[in-house]
Each structure stands twice: as structure tokens, then as C-alpha cells.
A and B are shown apart, each in its own frame.
Chain A
Amino acid sequence: MNEQQNVPPQPPEAPKPPWEEKPVPPEPRDAREHEQVREIAAIVPDAVLEAVEFAGQVTVTVARERILDVCRACKEKLEYKFLVDLTAVDWLERPEGRFDVVYWLHRFSDSRRLRLKVRVADGVEVPSVTGVWKVANWMEREAFDMFGIYFADHPNLERILTWEGFSGHPLRKDFPIEGIDTGAAIYPDVYPPGGGPVAGGEGE
């Protein structure tokens, strides 16, 4: 530990600087009374199912049917003009719906960010927010490609990172990390079903 020799000797009673202490991880807190959550609850009543604050970031879980209303209200009334990110998380064995679709909004007036979350089961459509923010187009396509979440009324819901005809959705937790047999899906005239090369395999 050469670096530590450079530290000037400190009197024992002085408090240690934060980087010498054992880190204290942040705790999740209920945020129903948080200002940003109250704003939403005021405009779209009964939409907020749950609200959590973790490390200063507010997450609001919204009913699936209401997400479009909430997003529209956020954009038009609460000035969240900027959709920073949209993605999904797969909680494979969660009873109330397997996927979280996560929206991450930003507003310029006071530089605050807000996370919206929708829980969906496999095969259930989520309303697309491309009509609210144009930027959501490719983000939703990516979520579709990677998780197989269908977005209703999306103008062009195609695969984006994998190719047309790819079977499976790679970021699902039950998609094996060593890959699946994709050869048969791509070259059906060459390989029998299930008989193609396996991604991550040894090769010939």
C-alpha cells in the first residue's frame, strides 16, 4: 500500500475521511410522500401502486393500463420532456408479472429525474410510448428484441440488435448464456430443425 504512505499522519481523535470508513450502503425508503410522487398522484389519481426512493432516485410503479396516461401527463403537465432511457428487467419467478419495464424521465426546469416502472407478465402487451416521446421507438424495439415484451401500437416493432428470424430473447433469464441452437433457424434449408451449430459450441 504505497499510496497510504503519502497520507499525512492524522491525530487519532480526528474523524476519518469517508473513503477510510467502511462504506454505508443506502437503504430503500418508501417515497409515497415524496414531492415528485405526489405530483403524479395529484394529476393521475390511483395510478401509483408503489413508490420507493433508493440512493436519491425515486421509482414509481404504475399499473400497466395507466402507464400511457401517466407518461403523457408527465410529459405535458409535469414537463418531463426528455425520456432518458427505457429498458426492462426480467424477474423470472415473480408472481405478479415477470418483467419490469423501466422508464427514466428527466425534466429540465429543476434537473430532476424520475423512474416509472410497469410490471407485465410474459406475453402481455404494454402500451407503447412512442406517441409521447419519439425517442422511445428504438428503445422499445430493443426491449422487444431482448426480452420479448410486446408494445401495443408501436409503429415498427421489429428486432433491432439480433436479426430477423432469430429465435429467443437473449436477455431473458431463462435464455442460456452459452446460446441456443440458432443455425437451424437461420439456414433451414441446410440444417434440420434443432440440428444447426450451437452458438458457443466447439465448432467443427
Chain B
Amino acid sequence: MGNLEATRPFPDSEEMEISFGPQHPATHGVLRVMVRVDGEKIVDAKPIIGYLHRGTEKIFERETYNGTIPHTDRMDYTAAATNNQALVGAVERMMGVTVPPRAAYIRMILAELQRIASHTIWLGTHALDIGAQTPFFYTFQERETILDLYEEYCGARLTLNCMRVGGQPFDLPEGWTGRCGAFVDQLPARIAEWERLLTNNRIWKLRTIGVGVISAANAIEWGLTGPPLRGSGVKWDIRKVFPYDRYDEVDFEIPIGANGDTYDRYLVRMEEMRQSVRIIKQCLAKLPDGPVMAKVPKVIKPPKGEFYFSVEGPKGELGFYAVSDGTTNPYRLHVRPACFINLQALPELVRGHLIADMVAVIGTLDIVLGEIDR
């Protein structure tokens, strides 16, 4: 009994401090949250990050512009294509390069596939956190097909390195569009299947409705982007606000929630997957012929200046702030990581809830520690 007493950090209160992570099944990597609990109720939570810090931004400064692309793959490793897209977009705009339409369409297909892949991981792990095991395997089966498509296109499944400054490194392989079309044709039925398991499930609703609520004004104040912001009812999507590639030529909706709780964010992401299917279908139908690479100099050398470019990643606004001094290496290449900033709101979202809710909230923020820690 004596040693139990000694470990109580607040001897005068009933509160207990729990180190939730960095090795914990529900922290999606190496997130550590110091939680002060009263019974099971969270008094305060303090995320501690950096366990996966690799100095990516320092490494960027040593690489050439095209050489940084593989490093972006390793940030949000569940969404390499959108990371590539954000980086090459920034450099292209600094250099004044216009990407050939075919390349832009290929990028959109890859990015939307990536969004679906990222959301399938999110759904599987989020459901697993809340105790439903089966969706995990269903979603990973679909993700597998996406990874196969990627493998066929660029040879990699996870760290794609599939875009270059000025366009795409390869044209689509023979028959790829057909296989991709077949996949997106059957996907809505799969999504409906996952929804049958969860959307109207009483326990699922009990666990997610009213949990981790954040109002629209508060969400903006905390800088949330992506599904967490849209779940609070803010119609905000970089693809619509600052259309890049050829997003202005395709038709899609921005799903928004009403209450800003975990359930709404869940519904938003489910709908986003359907919208991605819609975009991919249009892209495949419109895919123009032509080159996939613009005429860019052999040595990528943007002029002196600074540029911020962001894309709508699966997790939120993913931006690259590039500062060039006119040489072949970026002088400074800063990432605006969506997960990092979304995670910051965690204490706000979980205060007063139970431990089990924190697991649900971490799941609903859809964080990837590779991007948070870089």
C-alpha cells in the first residue's frame, strides 16, 4: 500500500495522472497524452509529441526540390499522394510552370484514391478504438485494391513518390483506367456495407453523438481544418476555395455536419469518400490525351521568393511554405501539418469527458504521428 501512496501525484485529491501512451493501442502511433483523471473523468489532458521527429524540414534544406518528394511521403504515410501534390504544387507555382492537363487529371485521380485510402484506414481504426473489430478488416480489403493500383502506377504502395515538379513521371499503364473504374464502381456498395454496420448502430451512436463537440467559431479559433472543421458546419474545402489542378472542372459537394461531434465527423468522412468516387469517375471520363510532363528545365531552380501552397489533404489543409534563395535547394521548406494543428485542440475536446471518449476523439481527429512530428 505504501508504494501506491507514493505514486499518487496529488496526495490531497482523488485525481490520478495517467500516461496514455506513447505505446498504447489507441494512440495511432507514438502519441503520448498525460491525462489527469478523477475516477474516469478527464480533468485535463496534455498531448506530448515528438517521438517520431526526424527533422524532415532540416533534411529538405539539404535536398534538391525533386529530392524532397520522397521525404514528404514519410510525413503523413497514409496519404503520400496528397503530400506530393502539395509540394510539387508549391514549387510549380514558384517557377510559373503550367502542368499539362493529363498530368493534372492523373494527379487528381491519385489524390482522390489517396483520400479514400486514408479514410478507410481512419474508419477501420476509429471503429476498432470504439470496440467494433470487423469494419477494420472490411476497410483494409478495399484499401488493398487502392494500393495495388498505386503499385501498378508507380511501383510503390505506401511511399509513392509519384509526382514531379512539372507533371507526372509516368503515364498511366495500359488498362489502369479500366481497373480503377471497376474499383470505384463497386466502392459505393462497400461504403454502404460499412455504414450498415455502424451508422444506425445504437451503441455506435451512443459512443459518438455528443462526444468531442466543438462549435464552428471555436473550430476556426483552434485552426481546425478538414473533416473536423466541416463536421462543425463550416463549408470549407481548399479544393473549392483555391482550386488547384483541375478541381474547378469537376463536380462535387462538400459534406458538412451540424453539431461538430464525433458522429458528424464520421458522417462527413463517409460522404467524402462517396464524393471522391464521384470525382474519380469524372476524371476517368474526362481524362485528356497529351503529354504528362511540362517543359521544365533539367535543374529545378525557382526564383528568389516565397510561396505558400496548400491542398486539401485527407486530414485537413496540408500546406508547404517554400522559401527559395534562387539555388537548387530550398532555403526553407516549412510544412503546415494538418494533424499537428488538429491535435492541438484535443484537450479542449476531451475535458470533462471519460477516458473512453478520449479514445474516440483521438480517432475522430484522424491523426498521423508521422506528420505531426515530421
Contacts and interface: CB of A to CB of B under 8 A. Distances in A.
A19 B98 contact: yes
A87 B332 CA distance: 10
A26 B330 CA distance: 17
The winner among A7, A19, A142, A177 for most chain B CB atoms within 10 A is: A19
Given A2-B171, A19-B291, A104-B308, A139 B341 contact: yes
A89 B321 CA distance: 10
A149 to B, nearest CB: 14
Interface stretch (B37-45, B125-133, B215-223, B248-256): B215-223
B363 interface: no
Contacts of B305: 26, 28, 54-55
A160 interface: yes
B295 interface: yes
A57 interface: yes
B222 A19 contact: no
Contact of A6 (B59, B223, B290, B334): B290
A134 interface: yes
Interface string B343-374: 01000000000000000000000000000011
The winner among A54, A84, A90 for most chain B CB atoms within 10 A is: A84
Interface residues on A, range: 35 or more
A170 interface: yes
Contacts of B94: 25-26, 55
Given A55-B94, A84-B336, A23 B295 contact: yes
Given A20-B295, A170-B58, A177-B62, A135 B223 contact: yes
Interface in A51-88: 54-55, 57, 59, 81-85, 87
Interface stretch (B48-56, B70-78, B204-212): B48-56
A28 B96 CA distance: 13
A173 to B, nearest CB: 8
Nearest to B334: A87
Interface string B128-160: 000000000000000000000000000000000
Interface in B267-311: 289-297, 302-308, 310
21 contacts: A3-B171, A3-B290, A18-B98, A55-B96, A57-B308, A87-B321, A89-B323, A104-B308, A104-B321, A108-B220, A111-B242, A115-B308, A134-B222, A135-B221, A138-B341, A142-B340, A160-B49, A161-B49, A161-B53, A177-B59, A177-B62
- Which 8 A-B pairs rank lowest in CB-CB distance, beginning with the nearest? A135-B223, A19-B294, A18-B98, A161-B50, A85-B336, A25-B303, A19-B100, A54-B305
